[in-house]
Structure 1
């Protein structure tokens, strides 16, 4: 059945986030999925795949975790969404504030974009300033115009909507300092991810990042880029906002901010905080977050987040249970440990197949990516598509690498076996030419101006 045609007929883009679009996967990928359990997903035809997409990194414990599901169902049976703030809403807020150092207050939302947009608004309201700075290397902060207008996708966005967003280069403090010099006293905040596959560590730092050796334990931690940004913001009166949609509840239970030893003014969270349930949050220091309060007589109001479903009890119950499991099972340690084994195994497989100069693992163990290069050594979307295609042929869906607590030794062995088979085809394609091996069009970047 042609699910792709059916999806495109009724949903613009064929899915509700562009990262799930058909142009993000090889031609032999399942067009639609029916269910997930643990580290696996199933297509309607019954085919089973070991998954490393993990719902765009939103699932950290594994699909359909029984304890998280049970917690969500209990909240559904209590009414799920009430007329006043719920007890569950209060408990979830207290839990997040108790978990994240420096977070005194929190607003929940259903989408990460709502949380980051709220953070930008809070910063502007608190400082009375105009500009928010973001790094060009970080691909996504919000679906709202203030950010999307800075990308190649500008159709439908008035120029003025993105005019207050300034772009700098991650790990280049001079590029950010230049913006402060160009706009003295006008920058409200700097918003950035703490780390991606690229970390904020100084180029000459030899500290090997691991769960048991976080950046904050390194003698050079004060020199890392995040600390430089924090110092610059504090000297100028701007706010530091760490977007922890991806790093939060992966690098460390208290966020990558704790891992790197920096305390932001505000943080945003989402993705894995509720194991796939729709929960996002903006949290920060009381003095700053209180611009959205209503218990300050005579103070001018700031309309932050006001969402009917922001306090939906099933998601917040899932968040509470997810954190309990994290603490009890030491989940972050497992994510790091599995990532280390996967990185080492994939690197060894590439070496054995003679393609170590063309296929390599990138990033720390908690945030892995695989890099693909063609016969000339140039980065290649075609070869990335080929590798993904061959992994799918052997039952592994790996559009990117998001490890979950459900990935164990059996999954590691299956992954490495599939990788070796895929890399043999990769090696042949380097010699014979990729066209006779690639079954469809190459994967395309989401942020491109034309289809």
Structure 2
């Protein structure tokens, strides 16, 4: 494959954009050197780079595109709304329509505020919980890699440059699926924890009763229970992880697949808490969320069209079916090459990731880069194995074939090292102190 145009654009991008792009997960350091630098366009489960190379793509905009790229009903809804204007000095009726559509899917929520990214939603939930409880500390799940770019979370990672120590001191980690870990925090910090925030699940289902146990501990110790549904929302179930696992949080945060790639996120929750950010109460006001673009009409039209597709078509069922093929048949192919101890596919079928291990069975960026390089050469762009509604069985067949063809090279990398196989340096983890 030729990446001449991509390489030229990379040089230009790094001269004017820190990191060369606007999302760290899309950076050049996350990919092998032989990879597309820029995407030209996408249709359904396929994308094309600016050099004209076509790929079957998994990851789908970091999980934001669940219906597939340029999904016609979403594009049509956006086009119609754009013709009317996109932002006004008073609300548009589409803001109420989008709110009602989302609340239909979340039985435990009474009110919603829209914003533009996940960090805004989760951080607003934290602020609201602090206002409700009068407390400052936050318990967050340390086994789940990302909640916000804001100080309260990113300050707990190696990427804490520029964040005051005082901001970090209020965030306390607990372990997933370990109620004792969370209860220990509550006992260590009595009457100090405002909220507990976690994703309903990451890769494995929680133990039976775990999420309800978290909610019960929040009730017992007076904290709000917040679920981050950025990933589980619109993949696990139409009503997110809370519907799938049968638990109602006080507040929940949504985004990613909510508008099939358009910029919409949301904070939803119980009226008694959410109304503190409204006008119809006599308590101290909470400046909850106020975003110039939160009511952007064409993005909310995309959200409505996306949600209506979920309600009328078998989206969730298709994501699980296609993902299950990748999981089951992918594991069979890996086993046939004798590599089951070195390549692992994890997660729910609707949201699969894979791990690459070296000869010592340690996670390896070099081995990951080698596998990505070889599958890219075969027309597959798979930083994960996350499917969309418009991927086809033929796409899955071709992907499995590309993996099968790439694994002999992976095995050579295990046996002899990647130096003579991998072009350029290995990719790197995002959370690192220095470049």
TM class by smaller structure: over 0.9
**Equivalent of 1:25 in 20, 27, 31:** 31
Tell me how far apart the structure 1 counterparts of residues 144 and 341 of structure 2 sit (CA, whole Å). 26
Tell me how far apart the structure 2 counterparts of residues 355 and 302 of structure 1 sit (CA, whole Å). 54
Tell me how far apart the structure 1 counterparts of residues 153 and 361 of structure 2 sit (CA, whole Å). 33
**Equivalent of 1:9 in 1, 5, 15:** 15
**1:199 offset after TM fit, Å?**
2.6
Question: 2:65 maps to which residue?
Answer: 59
**TM-score, structure 2 length as denominator?**
0.97
Question: Structure 2 matches for 1:142-153, cutoff 5 A?
Answer: 142-153=148-159
**1:433 offset after TM fit, Å?**
2.3
Tell me how far apart the structure 2 counterparts of residues 141 and 252 of structure 1 sit (CA, whole Å). 21
**1:254 offset after TM fit, Å?**
0.4
**1:107 offset after TM fit, Å?**
0.4
Question: Structure 2 matches for 1:356-435, cutoff 5 A?
Answer: 356-435=340-419
Question: 2:180 maps to which residue?
Answer: 174
Q: Which runs of 5+ in 1 are unaligned?
A: 202-220
Q: Within the alignment, does 1:230 sit opposite 2:215 as a pair?
A: yes
CA deviation profile, 1:24-83 (whole Å, cap 9, x unmatched):
111111011111111111111111111102111100001011110110111111221122
Question: Structure 2 matches for 1:175-254, cutoff 5 A?
Answer: 175-201=181-207, 221-222=208-209, 225-254=210-239
Question: 1:83 maps to which residue?
Answer: 89
CA deviation profile, 1:78-125 (whole Å, cap 9, x unmatched):
221122111100000111111101110000001110000100011111
Question: 1:207 maps to which residue?
Answer: none
SS of 1:262's partner is coil
CA deviation profile, 1:174-199 (whole Å, cap 9, x unmatched):
22111101111111100001111133
Question: 1:351 maps to which residue?
Answer: 335
SS of 1:124's partner is helix
Question: 2:116 maps to which residue?
Answer: 110
**1:173 offset after TM fit, Å?**
1.6
Q: Indicate if the aligned counterparts of 2:375 and 2:403 stay in contact, CA closer than 8 A.
A: yes
Tell me how far apart the structure 2 counterparts of residues 430 and 153 of structure 1 sit (CA, whole Å). 31
Between stretches 168-177 and 31-40, larger displacement belongs to 168-177
Between stretches 418-427 and 360-369, larger displacement belongs to 360-369
**Equivalent of 1:335 in 319, 326, 345:** 319
Question: 1:215 maps to which residue?
Answer: none
Question: Structure 2 matches for 1:146-165, cutoff 5 A?
Answer: 146-165=152-171
Tell me how far apart the structure 1 counterparts of residues 159 and 355 of structure 2 sit (CA, whole Å). 25
**Equivalent of 1:288 in 273, 278, 287:** 273
Question: 1:258 maps to which residue?
Answer: 243
Moved over 3 A (4+): none
Q: Which runs of 5+ in 2 are unaligned?
A: none
Tell me how far apart the structure 2 counterparts of residues 392 and 318 of structure 1 sit (CA, whole Å). 31
SS of 1:434's partner is coil
SS of 2:39's partner is coil
Tell me how far apart the structure 2 counterparts of residues 53 and 29 of structure 1 sit (CA, whole Å). 15
Q: Indicate if the aligned counterparts of 2:29 and 2:428 stay in contact, CA closer than 8 A.
A: yes
Tell me how far apart the structure 1 counterparts of residues 90 and 362 of structure 2 sit (CA, whole Å). 57
**1:295 offset after TM fit, Å?**
2.3
SS of 1:436's partner is coil
SS of 2:308's partner is helix
**1:163 offset after TM fit, Å?**
2.0
Question: 1:271 maps to which residue?
Answer: 256
Tell me how far apart the structure 1 counterparts of residues 158 and 94 of structure 2 sit (CA, whole Å). 41
CA deviation profile, 1:106-158 (whole Å, cap 9, x unmatched):
00001110000100011111111111111111111111111111111111111
